[in-house]
Structure 1
């Protein structure tokens, strides 16, 4: 049944009917919409809420109502000028333009604003004993080579040798076999493989699986502290805010296993000068690790290091939470989302 439409005096009835038919194809009844005329600072917010009220996705409607309210309030509170708003739009445009399949400038923006850590803290809260999550960062890729336990994620000459090993366990201490482990890091120059123009294949990253007893092991290089990309809009923003652009050295790991929550985390060697001022707010005390110096030539040879040269050892067990354990932890952090 078609809605009754009363055309304004200055409208052609045929045009109104056609417009209503077109809107109806998208499930919209024009006669029931608010009259969006003569909008001003006093009326615009309520009318944007009103026009979005027809959204049938309750979660989306709730999120956007809050987003619009806070955004409009921010503009009012700061008396934002047209020039400042245009600068913001140009900044976002440049952020998109510099992004690619292997450079994620918007993730970097989220990181430096503390948004990534906030979202992670709320959505990935873990029960006591489970390994804490931290930011993904902008350098994860899907093209890592599949490796066997004990293989190297780095080609020769990429940095000082490091051996990483441990077990993947549940919160009760039981081993988790077959867990997928993605790991990635910088080379000894503080650069990810994606930052090299001549990159032809992944390096200093790899994908392996935990063994039947939950063990995992791989060769890597000692990570070093490094600056976030400073040639783009986000790096320049951080500098303009009077902050430094450095991250402490760390090794990224992402672990997935059937029946457990996916974990994105990183381990930070103790003693790095940027541990307490990470540009992306990613460090957790529980993720700080000690690197052990190994000079035993036979052990170095056994672990696959060329000529049995010395290396450092990072030993760390990874504790995964079940979805039920994760939900209980998140109820304490963000009860509204868990309803």
Structure 2
């Protein structure tokens, strides 16, 4: 094969790869070239459309910073992040499902006493979160670390409002005892828009898609001998459950939030997490 033609474009490009490259890299690049060229041929991509795509990717890279990763946001809104998450976190029946990690986790959140409050700004509708960390047979798991975080009542995470929200607001780590039970006091989270002032936000606008995520509490649960669980619990009846901008909702992760009459909190949400062994 000597020259590049429309008909042999995939073969022409892939034939240039060396014989001694990493086998996995060879597989990834071979298939990427095949799918990219097939897309261009199927839609008969125009020069103007190609230039528009290059400009979009350029602007996406230019807006990236240590605090903002627009390419991950793009992956999220295209459903690719969730697809990769599902491929890499297939679990047996009965185990709690994974969902997207999100960009707002902070390493080093304080370890709190079971039952402590994580909301430090005094805003929002107070909610009691409780449940158990179990194995597939229903046995409690001792020593599980439960790292939790959420937005505040205005829909912002503390790292989005440094100097406005207290440090570690709506964050904390809890460690289970022999009963596997957890309990902490937070707020009932609210739905919020993903950052939509950049090229990804403009793309959503052009597609007539909204940028909102349904209200949720984040969980990162680890325990010796078990697979790490990255997940959320979603507020039942939220307006955006069926149209999450990043496709993170799973039916099994929708949690009840019950109003409490005469209690110390306005809401109560109970949810058991089931870990899969390594």
Q: TM-score scaled by structure 1? A: 0.75
Q: 1:145 to 1:138 in 2, by over 3 A?
A: same
Q: Tell me if the contact between 2:95 and 2:274 (Cα under 8 Å) persists in the aligned partners.
A: yes
Q: 1:97 to 1:215 in 2, by over 3 A?
A: farther
SS of the aligned residue for 2:81 comes to helix
In the alignment, structure 1 residue 312 sits paired with structure 2 residue 267? yes
Q: 2:183 aligns with which of 217, 223, 231?
A: 217
Indicate the RMSD between aligned Cα atoms, in angstroms.
Answer: 2.2
- Which residue number corresponds to residue 236 of structure 1? 202
In the alignment, structure 1 residue 275 sits paired with structure 2 residue 275? no
SS of the aligned residue for 2:242 comes to coil
* Structure (1/2) with the larger helix percentage: 1
Q: CA deviation at 1:45?
A: 2.2
SS of the aligned residue for 1:167 comes to strand
In the alignment, structure 1 residue 291 sits paired with structure 2 residue 246? no
Q: Tell me if the contact between 1:143 and 1:202 (Cα under 8 Å) persists in the aligned partners.
A: no
- Which residue number corresponds to residue 251 of structure 1? 217
Counterparts of residues 132-281 of structure 1 (less than 5 Å):
132-196=97-161, 198=163, 201-281=167-247
Q: TM-score scaled by structure 2? A: 0.90
Q: 1:98 to 1:206 in 2, by over 3 A?
A: farther
Residues 157-202 of structure 1 deviation map (CA, whole Å, 9 limit, x = unaligned): 2311111111111101111122222222111111222322646733
Q: Tell me if the contact between 1:102 and 1:194 (Cα under 8 Å) persists in the aligned partners.
A: no
> 2 CA distance for matches of 1:173 and 1:91?
49
Residues 273-293 of structure 1 deviation map (CA, whole Å, 9 limit, x = unaligned): 111121221111111111122
In the alignment, structure 1 residue 84 sits paired with structure 2 residue 49? yes
> 2 CA distance for matches of 1:197 and 1:100?
16
- Which residue number corresponds to residue 49 of structure 1? 14
> 2 CA distance for matches of 1:147 and 1:131?
24
Structure with higher Rg: it is 1
RCO comparison, higher one (Cα < 8 Å, 6+): 2
> 2 CA distance for matches of 1:104 and 1:206?
24
Q: 1:55 to 1:247 in 2, by over 3 A?
A: farther
SS of the aligned residue for 1:51 comes to coil
Q: Tell me if the contact between 2:192 and 2:215 (Cα under 8 Å) persists in the aligned partners.
A: yes
Aligned residues: 277
- More displaced 10-residue stretch of structure 1: 193-202 or 160-169: 193-202
Q: Unpaired runs of 5+ in structure 1? A: 1-33, 301-309, 324-339
Q: Tell me if the contact between 1:295 and 1:311 (Cα under 8 Å) persists in the aligned partners.
A: yes
> 1 CA distance for matches of 2:100 and 2:88?
12
In the alignment, structure 1 residue 321 sits paired with structure 2 residue 276? yes
> 2 CA distance for matches of 1:59 and 1:241?
35
Q: CA deviation at 1:55?
A: 4.5
- Which residue number corresponds to residue 28 of structure 2? 63
